[in-house]
Each structure stands twice: as structure tokens, then as C-alpha cells.
Structure 1
Amino acid sequence: MKQYSLILFLSIIVFFTTTTATTTLPVSLSSNATFPALIVFGDSYADTGNNNYLNTIAKCNYPPYGINFEGGTPTGRFGDGEVFPDLIAEGLGIKRTIPASLDPSLTPQDLLTGVSFASGGSGFNPRISQSRSALSMTDQLKQLKEYIEKLKQNGGEETTDYIISKSLFLVVAGSNDVPSATAGNFQLDVPSYTSSVIKLASDFMKKLYGYGARRILVVGVPPFGCLPSQRTLGGGLQRDCDQNYNDASKLFNSKLSLMLGSLSETLQDAKLVYFDYYNSLLELIQSPQKYGFEVADRGCCGTGLIEVIWLCNKYTASVCPNISAYLFWDGYHPSERANRIIISKLLDKSIPMLL
């Protein structure tokens, strides 16, 4: 993985101390990266700490979360270490990690190269977000609007247009919508509910485009039936994968992929690319030894059967002796090592389609 270069950092400092609204575009912003910034939306798979600043129970800013992060610090990331936005930014040479948009310590330099608006518990359906006191996708778009205004204040219209039009927009959502559909929470059958969510997702993409986004990468949902918590809840005595949940995931992903392909053809100069998270993770689950994992059906935290967020804490849950041997960190989220393997596939397969 490329490190965030000293040359890029210094060029950003110079840019902010010298630029005006009429200054020539700062070509140095993208000189050491494929994209000038990574701008992120979604749920717990992409939240880098926003829920720390919300009145929600969906928090993980306490040990043992973050045990493999820099200094072993719990930052509000839903895992033992770095999550999707961090690994993508690092892999693209943008910067080491992606900060949360609500972090009060954000600097102008942080804004230049991207932030995450994602919130654990969020979904395309606003009722999902509301029930968990998370930032809805609409809330995240409002934050994007504020973010763009801050860019204009610091760098001017021309530079802001450059950053927004050339940056990578990452959307990792749906992972709370699909389980709700399968559980029958909204009195709709799975095909009808997933179609309604896809309509909301399509509207979200169009609004992103309206704000100037042109390169949008959308991550599909995982095989929910094979996540440790769902194996425990719906997999019977043998804790098999729950096929009903997996079928719902596949249905949602197929509709999501088709919708993105259609928008790519209708939105001028836009590229919307779908990443197959389902099969990328399923391959690791079905062939763990191939990737050096010893345990693929339980999380590392506690018993590994169901623990997630408040159930995974330093007072009630132990940590497995060898995290690298576990595919999952908790009952819902993969470990950093698993995330790195998956993101390496994303960088190889999906990023070239956005260039």
C-alpha cells in the first residue's frame, strides 16, 4: 500500500496558504493519487467515527474495538482496525485514513482529501436510520452540501469544482435495509421491499450527481445469512448460513447492479460502478484456509456467536488470542485483515472501471 506522500502533504499546505478563487487549479492535488479525494457515504462498514458524536446506542468508541488501529485506539470504527474507506484511501495513495465528517478537529487539509459522512445503523430507507438515531442518507447529503461550502470558502469555486468532479465517491449502504426486509419489518414481501429501497438508492445517486459527483463506486451488501450473528439466530443447531437472508442479499444486489448500469447510461459523463461484496466475502467464508483464516463462522470478540457494538466491550467480552486467524471481528463486521483482502479485489477490479 502506498503511503500518503510528504510531497502531496506539503503541496496542500502551500495551496491553502496561497490560493484564491481565481488561482489555477492545483494539479499537485492529484499528482500522487488517482483521485484528489475520497468522499464516503453509508453505514457501519464505512463509518470512521461519526456515531461518536450522535445520541445513539450504535457506538464502538471503546475497547476492544480499535485494538489493531494506530496505537490500539478505539475511534468509533466498527472493527478491530481500519475499515473500507481507510483501506481504499491508502490503496489509492490519497491519505492514510479517512476522518469522520463530524470530528471537530478536522482541518482544511483533511477536507481537501476527503471525509466520511457514513453513520452506523443508517440505510437508504430513512425509517431505518431514524429507528437507530443514525445519520440518514439524506442527512449525509446535507453534510455534503456543507462540506462543499467549506471547500469553496477555503479554496474557491474553481478548486472545489475540480475536487468534486474528479474525486471518488464511495457508497456503502443497504446493509441495514436488507435484513429489515427479510425480517418483515415493513409489512412488504422481500421483492417489493427491495425494489422500494432500490428506488431510494437511485434517487440518492441522482442527488450525488446533482452535487457534481461523476465517479461513484457502490458496494453491494454481504451474504447476511453467513454473518456470525445470523448463523446463530437463523442457522439452526449447526449454525449454517441462513439461505433466506442470502437470497434477499442476492436479490437486492442484482437490482442495485442493474440500477447503477442504467444510471451510467443516462447521466452524462458519470461512471457508476458496482462492487460485488457478496461473492468477495462469500469466497473467504467458503475457503478460509486459502486465505490463512482458521475461523470463519464466529467473531473474535467474546463467544463470537452474536456480540456486536455494546455486547462487545472490555467488561463482558474477551478477545480471541489470534485475531489474524479470524475472518470476522464481531458478529457482523469482518476483521481488518479480511477487509484488506476484499479491498485489494476492489482496487484491482472496480477502480479501473472508474478511470
Structure 2
Amino acid sequence: MIVSVFKVILFCLYASVNSQGTIALPQNVSAILAFGDSFLDTGNNNYISTVLKANFLPYGNDFMGGKPTGRFSNGKNIADFFAEGLGVKEFVPPYLDPSLNDSDLLTGVSFASGGSGYDPQTARILSAIPILDQLDLFKKYIGNLTKIVGEEATMNILNNSVTLLCVSTNDFIVSLPVNTSQNDVLNYDRKLVNLSLTVIQELYTLGARKIAIFSAPPVGCLPVERTLFGGLLRTCVQKKNEAAQLFNSLLKERLPILANSLPQSRVAFVDFYNPLITVIDNPQQYGLQVTNRGCCGTGLLEFVFLCNRLTPTCPDDSKFFFFDSIHLSEIGCNIFVNQSLPGLVASLL
């Protein structure tokens, strides 16, 4: 009886007070749940065996006074900015962090892992947590949450959470060769779309009702892709961008069909392609100076272990869209979320 009363009190406190101590969470968002790759990984790779880590400087240069947390950025990442913008909390902790407390679980965590993809081969190559394994971690999270607040309150939290799914980038970087034929690209994109819809279906089955799935970004314009495959002028790699655009169009076409089959759900398509292209092509409009290379080192190839304490960084990372040769800087993440948040709110809430 005492335990039950405690659960009710704890849930009521959670429902009425957010992490900033204000009453009534905006838009009724109870928690943020993040799945996918390094754009949403807030530190899970710290706790697995992989070389894809970012728990050392200069990563985290601008995070809470210079604290490397495992975020692939100089500061906050996309998951953090969405959580803050939706009024949930300022930072989204990684689920694998052993220091997580009950309040962290109540308002959401990240299951994302740098190097993951829809294609199981991608995660194997990069020693990341596969997306299906992230769903298994989600099941454990639900079990932990149930112990804290009970089954009914847990389902209430899940139903009113915003679930972010950003996964496809590494599939196009690692598992899709540049010289793949057009027919093979089409087949691969169809495979990725089928896998993405399966993930959404499973998230729904587990209790998620407000699901935001990211499109593929302009992979061919990532600094590392420009350097490796963009020729002497380091132009965007058109074949990679075309593969990403095809995936996006196929996903956008099939997503409403799936959403209509999931009662009481809202599934949003988050355009991760066009907003990035717009910034890359028009940096001055966003107060930026450099969008074709990263801030770390030369900005041409450095990422993860190649971007380290011995690597000099740019004088002002707030002028760079990318922090390393793959990942957005904190200001880059902020710009993207500011562009995307109104549409996300309109679609899900």
C-alpha cells in the first residue's frame, strides 16, 4: 500500500512539474525518447566496445564548461535541443549511463548509438548498437519505468512522449558504395524504408504514439564525403545525395499509409535534408561562415578518434555548421531544430 501511494505521488509530481520547476509541461509532452545514430546519441557509446566514441576533448568543449559526455558535438546535440524546445528538459541522458535516476527515466532518455543504421550490416561494421537492439533496451526501460510508477502511469508517459528516430545516415556512408548502380540504389532504399516502417510499427506496439522519423540528410555534402569523393574542388557527392533523396521520397510516400493503420498515433516526417542544404548553401543567412568542412583539425577528415586533444580546433566554432567532418556543431544542431520544431509540433501535438 505504501509503495502504491509513493508511485501515485511520484507520478503526480512528474506530471505537474518539469525539469525547470515550472507547472504544466508545454504541449503535454511527458518525455523524449531518442533512437538512432550519432546525431541523437548522448553518450551510449561510452559504455560499449567501439572506436566510435566522443567522450574526450575537443568534443564537449562548450558543454557545461568543457565536459565531454559522448555527444558527437562541441556541445548539445539534436536530441537535447528538441527536448528543450518541447519544454521537457535541457539534456537527454543516455540510457546506458549507470548513474541514471528515476526522474531521468520519467522524462526520457536516448537509446541512440553512434554508427547505427537501419541495415544490420552497418551497425556490425561500426560496432554500434543495432536499431533492433535499441528497441530491446527500450523494453527494459519500460520495465524499469513500470517499477517506478506502475503500468498505467507508464503507458501514459509512453503515449504522451515524443519519440525521435534518426537512423539512415550511416547506411549511406558505410553500406552503400559510391559506384552502386541506380537499380541497386533503388533496391537498397526500398530495403531501408521497409526496415524503418518495421521499427515504427514496433515502437507503436511498445506504447509510442507520437513518433518523429527523420529523413536522410544530404550525405554527399558531409565534409568527409566531399573530401573522399568530391574531387579536387570537394563538391557535394551527387550520387550519395540522390540516394538519400530517393530514400526520403519513398519513405514520405509510404509513411502515411502505415500511420493510418496505427490507431491514436501521430507519425511525423522530419525533413533532415532540405534544411541542411539550405544552411550549407546560405551560411551567412544563419550567422555562419563555414559549411563545407568541420571545426576540428583541418575539418576535412577528422572525426571521432581523429578529432582529439592534440587536434587544433577552429578559433570560433559558432561560425561552423559542422564540428567534425560528419557531425553538426552545437549551433548547427540549434539551427536545424529551430527550423524543424514548429512543423514537428503541428504534426504531433
Tell me the TM-score normalized by structure 1: 0.91
1:33 paired residue among 2, 11, 26 = 26
Partner of 1:311: 306
1:234 paired residue among 229, 234, 237 = 229
User: Which aligned runs of 4 or more in structure 1 are off by greater than 4 angstroms?
Assistant: 20-27, 184-188
Q: Deviations over 1:166-188 (max 9, x none)?
A: 11111011011123353169998
Partner of 1:271: 266
1-structure distance, mates of 2:264, 2:45: 34
Partner of 1:333: 327
Number of residue pairs the alignment of both structures matches: 340
The structure-2 alpha-carbon separation of the partners of 1:234 and 1:17, relative to structure 1 and needing over 3 Å to count, comes to farther
- SS of the residue aligned with 2:165? strand
TM-aligned CA deviation for residue 270 of structure 1: 1.1
One-letter amino acid of the structure 2 residue matched with residue 18 of structure 1: F
The structure-2 alpha-carbon separation of the partners of 1:121 and 1:22, relative to structure 1 and needing over 3 Å to count, comes to closer
TM-aligned CA deviation for residue 22 of structure 1: 12
2-structure distance, mates of 1:229, 1:16: 53
Partner of 2:81: 87
2-structure distance, mates of 1:129, 1:185: 21
2-structure distance, mates of 1:337, 1:165: 31
Partner of 2:201: 206
Identity of aligned residues (%): 43
Partner of 2:125: 131
2-structure distance, mates of 1:145, 1:155: 15
The structure-2 alpha-carbon separation of the partners of 1:180 and 1:26, relative to structure 1 and needing over 3 Å to count, comes to closer
Whether 2:57 is the aligned partner of 1:63: answer yes
Q: Which runs of 5+ in 1 are unaligned?
A: 1-14
Q: Which runs of 5+ in 2 are unaligned?
A: 19-23
Partner of 2:218: 223
Partner of 2:21: none
1:141-290 aligned at under 5 Å gives the runs 141-183=135-177, 189-290=184-285
Partner of 2:6: 18
Q: Deviations over 1:92-143 (max 9, x none)?
A: 1101100000000000010000000000000111121122211111111001
CA RMSD of aligned residues (A): 2.1
- SS of the residue aligned with 1:78? coil
2-structure distance, mates of 1:113, 1:354: 17
The structure-2 alpha-carbon separation of the partners of 1:264 and 1:76, relative to structure 1 and needing over 3 Å to count, comes to same
Partner of 1:6: none
Q: Deviations over 1:217-243 (max 9, x none)?
A: 011111011111111111111111111
TM-aligned CA deviation for residue 263 of structure 1: 1.2
Contact 1:58–1:120 (CA<8 Å) still a contact in 2? yes
Tell me the TM-score normalized by structure 2: 0.93
Contact 2:295–2:322 (CA<8 Å) still a contact in 1? yes
One-letter amino acid of the structure 2 residue matched with residue 74 of structure 1: P
The structure-2 alpha-carbon separation of the partners of 1:305 and 1:16, relative to structure 1 and needing over 3 Å to count, comes to farther
